[in-house]
């Protein structure tokens, strides 16, 4: 493929750019340095650049004659994780987060890979415009980790900046062997919703529980009952997850508090199941509050909401065929995952089909050794781990190739 002929020539700057991003990670909505570096390099490749979309989002547009418009997306933000990879270019960054706390920061999810690969794809497309026709859009999104970055760009009039988009494409580096590519038609990544539930009791002295309504006992009963929502109310074969990740109540052993707060996380693959689980949570919480004689109605607050990633079958088939032709047996079909993404908010708002695929980032020999020993889950770091460190190659080259190959299935 002629457009990919320049891969070797961009390898040097890509690896340097990646190391720099990895060493200078930025939290959601704080991606100012990353965005500035992205915009600078995009301009150097001839793209028309729009900055500050949805806060720190960057969009590059390259018009190249008649033909479809293909949108390629990468996310830019990092996580509040203290890096423990031991890399020479490991992050030592600490910043103040949105809540005012001082936290370490690390690219523990591989968004630095995504940014570097998309910039490489933009360079290759720009260098070989005689080989394709249409419009390439390179979109660099903030705040994926908190689930509102894509929505923020849409609400900041993203659609008005773009020509009519025909298809949207994105990828994510995953803990599978580097060099591998995996597609999946239909529901791929789950919708995710976090819920904060506050239940009320009547506080008092720990020695006189009969004068109180103990919110700790109330919260405990809610947790136990919620375990049946998946096992007894969700149809067998329908994948869903309901986790109570946090309970907070009281300050002292002999003081019964007047309230408790629970934080829940729900993962689903259909709107019907999502609605049914929310209804069940509210029913259980309200009923347990009534059973305990709670003096006030409970409060429910939804936050950190991620949409379902539901890959368009025709679009996915087209990309999968292109990958199979280019990558051969390194292209595979991936299973559904319970991780979540907000990318689909962009194509959904634009009314266009999309597909989202996985790219391997783990040293193939290390993965094979762990697999043969039956220790993949123990020995292979996963996204969001303090030791997650994709190998530079062939990860960057494969991710760059994937974006170009997929885009050229339309351009």
Residue range 44-75, pLDDT digits in tens? 999 999 999 999 999 999 999 999 999 999 99
Give the mean pLDDT of 316-336. 97
- pLDDT given at position 364: 96
Q: How far is CA 404 from the centre of its chain?
A: 21
Q: pLDDT tens for residues 197-237?
A: 999 999 999 999 999 999 999 999 999 999 999 999 999 98
Architecture of domain 191-305: 2-Layer Sandwich (3.30)
User: What is the tens place of the pLDDT at every residue in 192-204?
Assistant: 999 999 999 999 9
Residue 36 has pLDDT above 90, yes or no: yes
> Which member of 144, 148, 166, 214 is catalytic?
144
144 is catalytic: yes
**So what's the pLDDT on residue 402?**
98
Given a cut of 80, whether residue 389 has pLDDT beyond it is: yes
Q: When comparing pLDDT for 54 and 304, which is higher?
A: 54
How far is residue 163 CA from its own chain's centroid?
Answer: 26
Which position has the token pair 């990958």? Answer: 323
Question: What is the rounded average pLDDT of the residues 124-137?
Answer: 98
- Please say if the pLDDT value at position 149 is more than 90: yes
Decide if 176 contacts 182 (C-beta within 8 A).
yes
**In which residue ranges of the chain is CATH 3.40.630.10 found?**
2-189+308-408
Contact (CB, 8 A) for 112 and 387:
no
C-beta of residue 161 within 8 angstroms of C-beta of residue 312: no
**What pTM, to 2 d.p., does this model score?**
0.92
| 2-189+308-408, CATH topology level | Aminopeptidase (3.40.630)
Single out the catalytic residue among 26, 31, 75, 77.
Answer: 77
C-alpha dist (Å) from residue 349 to 105, 157, 244: 31, 11, 31
Confidence of residue 1 (pLDDT cuts 50, 70, 90): confident
**CATH 3.30.70.360-classified regions of the chain:** 191-305
Phi, psi of 190 (to 5 degrees): -75, 155
The pLDDT score that the predictor gives to residue 122 is 98
> Tokens 């919260």 correspond to what residue?
219
Averaged pLDDT of the chain: 97
Q: Report the pLDDT averaged over residues 382-398.
A: 97
Band (pLDDT 50/70/90 cuts) for residue 338 is confident
Q: Is 155 a catalytic residue?
A: no
């Amino acid at each position: 493929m002629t457009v990919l002929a320049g891969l070797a020539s961009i390898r040097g700057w890509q690896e340097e750019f990646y190391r720099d991003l990895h060493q200078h990670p930025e939290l959601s909505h704080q991606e100012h340095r990353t965005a500035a570096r992205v915009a600078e390099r995009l301009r150097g490749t001839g793209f028309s650049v729009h900055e500050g979309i949805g806060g720190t989002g960057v969009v590059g547009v390259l018009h190249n004659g008649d033909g479809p418009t293909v949108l390629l997306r990468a996310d830019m933000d990092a996580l509040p994780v203290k890096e423990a990879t031991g890399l020479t270019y490991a992050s030592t960054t600490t910043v103040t987060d949105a809540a005012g706390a001082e936290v370490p920061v690390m690219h523990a999810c591989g968004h630095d890979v995504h940014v570097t690969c998309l910039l490489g794809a933009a360079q290759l497309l720009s260098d070989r415009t005689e080989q394709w026709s249409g419009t390439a859009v390179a979109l660099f999104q903030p705040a994926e980790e908190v689930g509102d970055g894509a929505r923020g760009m849409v609400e900041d009039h993203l659609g008005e900046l773009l020509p009519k988009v025909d298809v949207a494409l994105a990828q994510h580096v995953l803990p599978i062997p580097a060099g591998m590519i995996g597609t999946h038609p239909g529901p791929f990544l789950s919708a995710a919703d976090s819920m904060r539930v506050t239940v009320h009791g009547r506080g008092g002295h720990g020695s006189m529980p009969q004068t109180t309504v103990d919110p700790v006992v109330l919260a405990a009963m809610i947790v136990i009952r919620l375990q049946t929502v998946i096992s007894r109310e969700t149809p067998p074969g329908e994948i869903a997850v309901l986790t109570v990740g946090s309970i907070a109540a009281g300050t002292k052993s002999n003081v019964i508090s007047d309230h408790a707060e629970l934080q829940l996380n729900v993962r689903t693959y259909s709107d019907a199941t999502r609605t049914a689980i929310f209804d069940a949570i509210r029913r259980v919480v309200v009923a347990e509050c009534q059973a305990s004689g709670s003096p006030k109605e409970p409060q429910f607050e939804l936050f950190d909401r991620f949409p379902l990633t539901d890959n368009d079958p025709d679009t996915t088939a087209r990309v999968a065929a292109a990958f199979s032709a280019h990558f051969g047996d390194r292209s595979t079909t991936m299973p559904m995952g319970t991780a979540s993404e907000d990318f689909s908010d962009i194509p959904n708002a634009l009314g266009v089909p999309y597909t989202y695929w996985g790219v391997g980032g783990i040293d193939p020999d290390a993965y094979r050794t762990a697999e043969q020993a039956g220790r993949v889950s123990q020995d292979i770091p996963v996204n969001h781990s303090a030791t997650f460190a994709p190998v530079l190659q062939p990860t960057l080259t494969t991710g760059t190739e994937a974006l170009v190959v997929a885009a050229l299935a339309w351009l």
